[in-house]
Amino acid sequence: MTLGFTYDGTTLVGTGKVPVTYTRSGASFTGELAVTYLKKGDDEGKISGTGKLAVKTAKVDGYLVLNVNERGVIWGEGSVSYQINDKIKPTIGVKLSPDGKITLIGKIELTKPIVLFPAKGSERDLIKLNIDFIIPGPFPGLADPMVHLGAGVRFGYGIGPGQIVNTVIEGSFDPFEEDKNAQLSFKSTFEVPGHVGLTGILEAGLGIAVLGGLAAKVHGGLRLEPSFTLKLVASIPITAQYANGDFEFEGRVEMAGGLSLGLAIKFYAHVEALGGGASQDFDWSIKNYTYDAAQQMKLTLAKLGYSTKTGVKWPEFNDIAIEPKSLDPIAMIKRTAESAKAALKG
């Protein structure tokens, strides 16, 4: 606590600050009270000040601010947020204006995405080549050393999960006024990520072939998997607002993404028996490098809107837009080269 007084023979001014800290049962209250006392001559002394208090628990987060001036006018605001579960967080607030008007404020946030359908995807080999060189050993035909070389191209795709993200509902109104001044806003986004790409496979290893490979083969070695993947996120952001009897709505269809390059380095092991009738593959990742090969872009395909003032706004050709508006291929090439250089150093 700090207190201070000054007096110039006519005016007495006193100031004080009191910190507030209180903890109990997992709840903490922290804040500060600041008070000023002012007295001029024979006039009556006047008090003004500000009080700030914050409350924090595992699920509750809130604050309160109150002010009073020399004329005794009080105003301030406060709000409390409560995490109901891992997805829903409502906030209730109140605001007191210097003219005495009270405004209630509410907000609901969905803090986690709502999954509408799970992610799906698949991979398939377009090309797969395996060449084994058997080297006659000390026991020819029984158990011979072998060299394995492999190459291939794999196609992969994925879509989802489809989910609703960034959902917030906010509103306010003046309950004790003739004009309630009701306001409400809503925003949310339906989002579906997806990708499509090709992966090359180059592998080389050493192993043992039993009975010329007809009985069993075991080999292991190093595998390189260079890849390029086109990643896209399709989204439909929606916003809606109501204020003073007027309603507005807007929705857009967007796609954002870019091309990514990758390189995976792995140890692999392959075991097969009965001439390939039964086989099992294992791999262990050593290092993965990924970086953007091109400038990330966003494409707006359509816009749809409605307003009580202007009516329906249908999609138009002019709504189609790409960001950034200007693409610099030289900058893209430089960025790719710098990313590749950093990846190799890593």
Per-residue pLDDT at 177 exceeds 70: yes
Is residue 107 a part of any domain in this protein?
no
CA–CA gap between residue 303 and residue 280 (Å, rounded)? 52
Two tokens, residue 290: 């990924």
Least confident of 34-38, 201-205, 328-332: 328-332
Two tokens, residue 71: 């004329």
Two tokens, residue 213: 């490979």
CA–CA gap between residue 224 and residue 266 (Å, rounded)? 7
**Residue 135 carries which side chain, given as an amino acid letter?**
I
Tens of pLDDT, residue by residue over 214-224, are 788 899 999 99
Tens of pLDDT, residue by residue over 56-80, are 888 888 988 989 888 888 899 999 9
Domain containing 292 equals 115-346
Is residue 251 a part of any domain in this protein?
yes
Q: Tokens 């006392």 label which residue?
A: 37
Least confident of 3-12, 164-173, 225-234, 290-299: 290-299
CA-closest candidate to residue 296, choices 244, 231, 220: 231
Two tokens, residue 78: 């406060």
CA 319 to chain centre: 27
Structure letter (DSSP) for residue 98: T
What's the predicted TM-score (pTM) here?
0.69
E-only strand ranges, the chain? 2-7, 11-24, 27-40, 46-56, 60-68, 74-82, 88-96, 102-110, 114-117, 120-134, 143-159, 162-173, 183-210, 216-243, 246-273, 278-292, 297-307, 311-313, 321-323
CA–CA gap between residue 84 and residue 89 (Å, rounded)? 6
Is residue 28 a part of any domain in this protein?
no
Two tokens, residue 37: 């006392």
Least confident of 24-28, 241-245, 258-262: 24-28
Number of domains into which the chain is organized: 1
Is residue 271 a part of any domain in this protein?
yes
SS3 343: helix
Two tokens, residue 309: 């003032």
Least confident of 159-173, 188-202, 287-301: 287-301
Is residue 75 a part of any domain in this protein?
no
Torsion of CA 281, 286, 288, 289, to 10 degrees: -140
Is residue 324 a part of any domain in this protein?
yes
Tens of pLDDT, residue by residue over 301-324, are 899 999 998 899 988 888 888 887
The overall average pLDDT reported for the chain is 87
Is residue 129 a part of any domain in this protein?
yes
**The pLDDT of residue 319:** 86
Is residue 45 a part of any domain in this protein?
no
